[in-house]
Every structure is written in C-alpha cells, then in structure tokens.
Amino acid sequence: MTPLRQTWPDDLARRYREKGYWRGETFSGFLRQRAAERPDAIAIVDRDRSWSYAELLARAEAAAAGYLRAGLKPGDRVVVQLPNIAEFFSAVFGLFRAGMIPLYALPAHRITEIAHFARKAEAVGYVIAERHDGFDYRDQARALQAEVPAVAHVVVVAGDAAEFTKLATERGEGVALPPDVSSSDVAFIQISGGSTGLSKLIPRTHDDYLYSCWASNEICGVTAESVFLVALPAAHNFPMSSPGHIGALYAGAKVVLSLSASPDAAFPLIERERVSITGLVPPLALLWLQAAPSKQNDISSLQVLLVGGAKFTREVAKRVRPVLGCTLQQVFGMAEGLVNYTRLDDPEETIVSTQGRPISPDDEVLVVDDLGNPVPEGEPGYLLARGPYTIRGYHNDPAANARSFTSDGFYRTGDIVRRFPGGYLEVQGRAGDHINRAGEKISAEEIEDHLLAHPNVFDVAIVSIPDEFLGERSCAFVIAQGEKPKGSALKAWMRTRGIAEFKVPDQIVFVEHFATTAAGKVSRKELRARLRAEFLQHQ
Ligand code: J2J
C-alpha cells in the first residue's frame, strides 16, 4: 500500500508545535475528553434523534469494535458516503477510534467517482446508508465491489443492510480497541475540487486539521454554548472545518443536522434547536434571503451566517444583516488548507466586500504574477499559500504535486485574488479551468473526457458561464460527428456514466468547428476562454 503521509519540514513542524498550533491531540482523543468533561451535553441532533457526548463516544467505540470484528484493520482506508444523519458521526468517529482512515465522498458521487476514490486510496471498505434521496447505495456498493474487488467490506449504517455488515451499535466482547494513533498521522482524506482531470486526494493530519478547527472557533465565536447547523453535506470541508461540525464538537457544542439546506428543512430546525451559527454557499444564502420574509419560523437565534465556497456578491452580502438579523461572515477556504474569514467585528464594508484574511499568523500568503514575482498590494495575482494547516502534497500524485506546489512548498491555489491592507483578500477569479457551480467544483477536463466517449461527439470544450443563481454554470460546446444527438439525449447519456448529477452540463451548444489560429491549434485553455467570450458577446 502506498503510505499515506503529510509532512512539513522539521523546522516548521517544530515551530507549529512550539507556537501551540499543533496540540498533539487526535480526533478520538478529543471526543473522549469532551465525553468525560460533559457527558450529558448534547453532541448530535438530527431530525428525530439526539445523542449526548457520552452516547456518541459509546457508539463510536461500538462501531470501532464492529469494524475490527468484520475484519477491517487499523490503517485501512475506508470510503465514507453518508447523508447528514447522526450515524455519520458514530461511523466516522468509530473509524478514528479503530485507527482507520475515512475518505469523504459526497452523497452525490456516483460509481465512476467512488471507484476512482477507492482505487486511488487503495480502500478496502465502503460505509453507506441504505438510501438517500431515492438512491440505493447498496446497488452502488455492489457495482463498486465488481469494479474494485479490493473493497471487501461494506458497512451499512442505517436502513436495511441486505447482504452487507450492519454498523455495530453495541461494544460486544472480545475485541480490544487499538491504542491511539499519533497526532502527526493522517486522520482522513478529503477530495480536491481541482481543475485538471479526476479529483486528487488530500491527506490531512490530526494536528493540522484540529488547529484549523479550533482557531476557526475563536474567529467565529463558537463555544460550548453554540448550536451549529450542518446544512451543507457534512462530508464537505467547509461545513466540516470552518469551523464546522468538527470545530463545534471540539468546543463541546451541539451539532444539528439537516438533510437538506432548503429553508423548508432548515428553518424549522433553527427554530426548534435555537441554532446560533451555520454555513451556506452563495446560492443557498440567496434562497434563504428570499424565503425569510415570508416564513413563519422564528430564526432569531441565528447570530452568524458563514458564506463561502464561491464568490458572494457584495449586493447580496449587504442584505444578510437586515433580512436575516445576523452577522455575515465571509469564508474563503479550500480542502487543501488555507482558510480566510472576515472577522465578526470588522466594519460592515469589509464584511460585505472582502473574503476575509487568513486564520493564522503563520499562514504565509503570496500574490504573484505569471513569473512568480509578488505583485503590488491591491493588484490581482495568483494566490500561493503555505502554513500550519495547508498540505504539502496530494496523495500518490507526483505529476499533480509538481504542478500544484512550488519548490519551497507553497500550494498554488489556482485562485486569482487582490490583497489589501491587513491581509484581506478579494477573490477575483480562477486561473485553472474549472467550473464553480454553486460551490461544487467541476473539472472541465474530466467532463470533456466523458463526452468524448460518446460515438457522435467529435470534439468538446466545457466552459463556465456566469449564472445569476448558481454563480457559474457549465456549458458544453460540442462538435458532432455522424448523426447529431439532441442536447437532452446527450445529458441523459452523461447520467449513465456514473457521475454526480452536478457534473452533467447545464447547457449544450453545438458548433461546426473550433477556432484555430494561423499557427495551428490553440490550447484547450485558450479555446475555452474564446468560446466563453464569444458566448457572452452574443448574450
Ligand atoms: C470565492 N471563491 C471561493 C469564496 C472557496 C471554507 C469555505 C469554502 C471551502 C471550499 C472550504 C470562496 N469566494 N468565499 O474548504 O473550509 C473557491 C476557491 C477555492 C475553492 C476551494 C472551507 N471559498 N472558494 O469551497 O476545496 O476557488 O473548499 O480555491 O471545495 O473554492 O474549494 P473547496
């Protein structure tokens, strides 16, 4: 098995420890501690259950014993694909307790993506719920085992397990739980929303991730009294770490789970649980702003609304305080590490017009030109980042690492930003070719590769088009060959490719040919830029 690691140079690692950023704690260690300190405090609430910290710990230990009984071993990598239900937490903290490494897939991911994650991570387990949103994940488990036979263990945490193993809810006898792992070990794997090809794997350590969570708690005002609503998919890095459910649990707060982020689902939960803080992507924030005036629910407990994942426009941002009665906190983060927040006591203008500043005094941020030279303050440039919770490399991907990291360890975020006094950043756009569709990142190349497999597609370019609601939508420019398919048929065919629904192009435009230059072929990047410009001109 390719070893999973994330290492910083010794001098920096020493500095991060000495400064107290890396506290030497692990995920299962902190949960055990919270359960000892406040056993009866409520940790997790979903639609119809509520678990105390003591109960969550007991369930995590039972799950850990169950995994070991089923034949999984410490160090094994396990793809976790769960909706926002309480068992997400017993399943995942069970894996931590057993020294296993979760890889977080989103509920929307389908077989092509799940098989890629499993192969790339050399996973041997897959943790699912029976069904969610009408989709039966057991069928997906069968397809995965057919495609990647190494995934020998499927654990179903809720519903009917069929031929698979049910998540253990009793500790049972005869299984000793292993000693805690080291805080510098990789705790779990996140998925990158990168722009080239298939998703890359992001190994995060206990030390670095917990730092980003507890420091976020301080910046976002999360304490043991807070009530944090997870409205976005719990597996996504934003609702997990900014400050997220992990931040909230670290603080000993209450985490409330909503199966959907729609106002219809979320507002009654805010009222019932007196939610004080939550996070949304911009299109959902817009929906909440539209819905709030006509809803009867009392959402006055909400103090902070974090908005991030994609650019939140200033005009909409300005409406948050007057309409929802809470403080907006913009957050510009990435699963690879660096997270920026506006501060709760920043002037309103800073809150509505910037994407904040880094969490840590030791976040090193550079804004550079094409040649890698720093640009003057206020000028746009590429954002590079290095620091105590920003990864130094993807898992088992030397080519991506050569592209995405400088020789001195800065991560090339791919974002184009301007930096202002005080370190505040304003996101201007992206260098890479991906579509940020309502916070979901889609690689143009990945979708082009799928479409090229269609017999009547000669060539294709995927382009991001500005969209009033989604921020960006995806448009496929297609040159057909043979019989020209209907756009709707092409979309339907894409759905058979086993990919997440959000990756199916929103729009398909057939063209006769792609422009070339006198010198011959243009680069894909240039082509996409031209098609986009032409499309917008004719709007
Ligand atoms: C513009 N673009 C943004 C913002 C992210 C907190 C919040 C978000 C994420 C996330 C996260 C943006 N304005 N406010 O992990 O902890 C775009 C950038 C960035 C990419 C990362 C967190 N906030 N973005 O969205 O890994 O392009 O993380 O590089 O999914 O989203 O995407 P992702």
Which architecture, in CATH terms, is 27-181?
A: 3-Layer(aba) Sandwich (3.40)
Residues facing residue 54 across a β-bridge: none
State how far the Cα of 367 lies from the Cα of 237, in Å rounded to an integer: 24
How many residues are there in the chain? 539
pLDDT of res. 517: 59
CA of 329 to the centre of ligand 1 (A): 14
Give the residues of the chain that fall short of pLDDT 70.
194-196, 516-521
Kindly report the number of other CB atoms within 10 A of residue 296's CB atom: 7
pLDDT for 195 = 65
Which atom of ligand 1 is least distant from the CA of 306? 7
Residue pair 114/128 in contact by the 8 Å Cβ criterion = no
Residue 461 CB-half CA count within 13 A = 21
Domain residues of the chain, as ranges? 27-181, 434-537
Cα of 235 vs centre of ligand 1, distance in Å, is 14
Question: How many CB atoms neighbour CB 12 within 10 A?
Answer: 17
The reported pLDDT for the residue numbered 434 is 87
Amino acid at 35: A
| Cα 386 to middle of ligand 1, angstroms | 16
Closest residue by CA, ligand 1 atom 20: 334
Half-sphere exposure of 454 (CA within 13 A, CB side): 28
Is domain 434-537 given the CATH code 3.30.300.30 in the classification?
yes
| Ligand 1 mean position, distance from CA 25 (Å) | 26
pLDDT at 194: 66
Q: Which residues line ligand 1 (CB under 6 A)?
A: 193, 237-238, 241-242, 308-311, 330-335, 339, 355, 413, 415, 427, 430, 436, 439, 441
Contact 342, 355 (CB under 8 A): yes
Give nearest CA residue, ligand 1 atom 19.
334
Give the tokens for residue 181.
Answer: 């792992």
Task: Give CA–CA dist 200/204, Å, rounded.
Answer: 13
Q: Are 259 and 231 in contact (CB under 8 A)?
A: no
Neighbours of 408 (CB within 10 A): 9
Half-sphere exposure of 102 (CA within 13 A, CB side): 26
The rounded Å distance from CA 496 to ligand 1 centre is 29
Mutate to test the pocket of ligand 1, among 211, 332, 382, 417 (most ligand atoms within 8 A of CB): 332
CB 396 within 8 A of CB 407: no
**Contact criterion met (CB below 8 Å) for 4 and 395:** yes
Mutation test residue for ligand 1: of 312, 334, 391, 470, the one with most atoms within 8 Å of CB: 334
State residue 524's pLDDT score: 81
* Closest by CA position to 270, among listed 295, 250, 252: 295
Interval between CA 309 and ligand 1 midpoint (Å): 4
**Which residue is closest in CA terms to ligand 1's atom 15?**
334
d(CA 167, CA 161): 9
SS3 letters for 474-491? EEEEEEECCCCCCHHHHH
What tokens appear for 406 in the block? 């400088």
CA distance 375 to 497: 43
- Ligand 1 atom closest to Cα of 244? 16
Specify the pLDDT at position 520. 63
**Cα separation, 447 vs 524, whole angstroms:** 13
Q: Is the CB of residue 360 less than 8 Å from the CB of residue 215?
A: yes
What tokens does 331 get? Answer: 């957050």
Q: For a substitution probing ligand 1, which of 238, 246, 354, 434 has the most ligand atoms within 8 Å of its CB? A: 238
Same fold: 27-181 with 434-537: no
The protein residue with its alpha carbon nearest to ligand 1, atom 2, reads: 310
Tell me which H or E stretch contains 143: helix 137-147
- Residue 237 alpha carbon, nearest atom of ligand 1: 15
Q: How far, in Å, is the centroid of ligand 1 from the Cα of 65? A: 36
Coil, strand or helix: which one is 184?
coil
CA dist., res. 478 & res. 515, Å (int): 13
538 Cβ neighbours under 8 A, 6+ residues apart:
none
> Which residues does residue 202 pair with via DSSP β-bridges, in sequence order?
190
Adjacent-strand bridge partners of 104: 80
Report yes or no for ipTM above 0.85.
Answer: yes
User: 């407990």: which residue's tokens?
Assistant: 301
CB atoms within 10 A of CB 462: 27
Distance of CA 23 to the CA centre of its chain: 24
Tell me how far apart the alpha carbons of residues 264 and 261 are, in angstroms, rounded to a whole number: 8
355 Cα to the center of ligand 1, angstroms: 10
Determine the distance separating the centroid of ligand 1 and the alpha carbon of 439, expressed in angstroms. Answer: 7
Rounded (10°) angle between helices 53-70 and 27-37? 140
Please state, in angstroms and rounded to a whole number, the distance separating the CA atoms of residues 289 and 246.
27
The whole-chain average pLDDT of the chain stands at 96
- Distance between CA atoms of residues 407 and 137, nearest Å: 42
pLDDT in tens, 262-309: 999 999 999 999 999 999 999 999 999 999 999 999 999 999 999 999
